[in-house]
Structure 1
Amino acid sequence: MNKRVLGQSIEGRPTTANEHQNQLIWEVISKGRSMRALTTIRIQAIPSALNQRLRWILGYQSAMDVLPDFD
């Protein structure tokens, strides 16, 4: 299976798209917190929070700004 490589980890090995997505999710949900405490509303808010982040690849715009009709 070919994995898309996005960059390098701290250890110097390539990171995959899945690892990158996990890192973005951990920015929204703090590490060390129990996943059992998350509500459905909080879980559903994660994609929204990620789509509102400013991205270098999008010219420092959010995905919501570039693709407003994409829900």
Structure 2
Amino acid sequence: MTRKRNEAMQINAPQSVEIDYDLYRQSVAEAAYYKAEKRGFIPGFEAQDWVEAEAEYSLPASGGAASKQYES
């Protein structure tokens, strides 16, 4: 490989991402709450709401940043 290509690969290399799991869990809980609210809080769907909310905030298999952006 040429030096220029090596430098380009280093620049485009994936960066490690630090995840705040408390914020992640809070975001999932909030999303699950809004799903339940939209349904009128009909009981029996709590696990489904949680799983769907987790899917919305799941981490890509590549180990990158969470798919949703968090606001502070």
Same fold, TM-score > 0.5, yes or no:
no
Larger Rg: 2
Q: Give the TM-score of the pair, scaled to structure 2.
A: 0.33
Structure with more contact order per residue of length (Cα contacts < 8 Å, sep ≥ 6): 2
Q: Give the TM-score of the pair, scaled to structure 1.
A: 0.34
Higher helix share: 2
